Amino acid sequence: MSQLLIRSAALLNWHSVLARKHPPSADVDNAINSITRMLSINDSHLRLSEYVSTLERLDPGQAQGLAWEVGTSAKLEDDSQISKALLGCETLGAALSWGCKFFPLQQDGTSLQLEQDDQWAMLCYKIQDPQIWPRHIDAVCNLGFQARFIKAAAPEAWSQVQLIVESESNTNSANLAKITQASVIHGGSTNAIRFPASLLDAPFAPQNDYDPTAISDLSKTLTAKERTTPISQRTRKLIFSQLNEGNVSQCRIAKSLGLSSRTLRRKLSDEGQSFRELLDLCRMQSAGLELRKQQKVSLSEIAIRLGYTEHSTFSRAFTRWAGIPPREFRLAHTGVAHRDS
């Protein structure tokens, strides 16, 4: 399976912020050394697992504040090709929508989605591939990164914004609301910025250095990346996305890939995979993530979310995969026992 990657540029602002950290500490020094080493590889991308683990080793009492500072401190016009392209959008909604589309060019194993109803809009940073966890610091950093667009278009509306994070509230994270100057909800099912849907129409003034061909060029780059990505990896990504929605459909996945169901099965077979095997593995990996992060959700609810009609069927499948029942798995990873139904 292909290695999950993130753009190396993601480390540059981390290095700058940590280098200014006073007083210095052992975890900050270790992070700077690790980041310096990764940057010295001189490649455009690095392993997402190494990036995330470096951030998660930071002192929990300071890490979320540092993550928000890193995400919000870079000027939009000085950032990536994607940010520069989005600066030419006429509205905040257009900028965020294009940003979601091009997010796979920045980072694998995660999705950025813009959801809305009549009253509210939510920019959701969802962990699609659960192999790399926890990712609390990575999530806060990305929320800060996206917050820059909202603040650029409607700075006066920030008081109406709400942040949702997967991490549970504790003494280390209780000051996140003070740091971000926004209302914060902990223990969410996703990481998100929630704001009035009316802000999507806020003008996003084009910049002088905007390149009108940027959107088209990025679209071509994204298409090229998708074409060179193994079909099994692309299928896994869509399975994880549909599991989040609560309904996995092989026909819908094939259609999203521009294939018939028969052709999808053939292409997966050429890579030594089957759709059923991928679905079962994705279900179990998703279950493992849910059991680790969703301490308040019952096993029955997790089973239903993953498409199992019977709690007992889910428990047997999970036990075969993990070697222990889901209740014991949750207790071992969180120290919290939970009702089974």
Instruction: Read off the pLDDT band of 167 (50, 70, 90).
Output: confident
With beta carbons less than 8 A apart as the criterion, state whether 188 and 165 touch: yes
- pLDDT for position 198: 97
Q: What is the mean pLDDT of residues 78-98?
A: 85
Is residue 121 left, alpha or beta, with left meaning phi > 0 and alpha meaning psi from -120 to 50?
Answer: beta
**pLDDT per residue as tens digits for the range 11-57:** 988 999 999 887 778 999 999 999 999 989 888 899 999 999 999 99
Question: Minimum mean pLDDT among 205-214, 253-262, 302-311, 314-323: which range?
Answer: 205-214
Q: Domain boundaries in the chain?
A: 5-201, 230-334
Q: Which alpha helices (H) appear in the chain, and where do they start and end?
A: 10-19, 26-40, 48-56, 60-73, 81-86, 92-102, 136-153, 176-180, 214-228, 231-245, 250-256, 261-270, 275-293, 299-305, 311-322, 326-334
- pLDDT for position 78: 59
Which CATH number is 230-334 given?
Answer: 1.10.10.60
What percent of the chain is predicted at pLDDT more than 90?
Answer: 67
Using alpha carbons, list the distances in angstroms from residue 258 to 170, 247, 261, 263. Answer: 45, 19, 10, 10
Q: What is the mean pLDDT of residues 120-147?
A: 93
Q: Phi then psi for 199, rounded to 5 degrees?
A: -70, -20
What percent of the chain is predicted at pLDDT more than 70?
Answer: 94
Closest CA to 119 of 182, 199, 191: 199
Q: What is the mean pLDDT of residues 122-130?
A: 91
Q: What is the mean pLDDT of residues 273-297?
A: 91
**pLDDT per residue as tens digits for the range 243-257:** 877 789 999 999 999
For residues 127-146, b (16+ Cβ closer than 10 Å) or e, as one string? bbbbebbbbbbbbbbbbbbb
Beta strand 191-196 with 183-185 is: unpaired
Instruction: Report whether pLDDT(338) > 70.
Output: no
- pLDDT for position 271: 96
- pLDDT for position 108: 93
Average pLDDT, the chain: 90
Distance CA 228, CA 232 (A): 12
- pLDDT for position 9: 87
With beta carbons less than 8 A apart as the criterion, state whether 200 and 226 touch: no
- pLDDT for position 337: 67
pTM: 0.89
Q: How many residues does the chain have?
A: 341
- pLDDT for position 207: 61
Amino acid making up residue 145: F
Instruction: Report whether pLDDT(230) > 60.
Output: yes
Q: What is the mean pLDDT of residues 318-322?
A: 96
Closest CA to 53 of 135, 111, 129, 127: 135
Helices 48-56, 10-19: inter-axial angle, 10-degree rounding: 20
Instruction: Report whether pLDDT(341) > 70.
Output: no
Instruction: Read off the pLDDT band of 209 (50, 70, 90).
Output: low
231: buried, middle or exposed (CB in 10 Å: 19+, 13-18, 0-12)? middle
CATH fold, domain 5-201, is H-NOX domain (3.90.1520)
Distance CA 29, CA 19 (A): 9
Strand partners, 191: 125
- pLDDT for position 189: 84
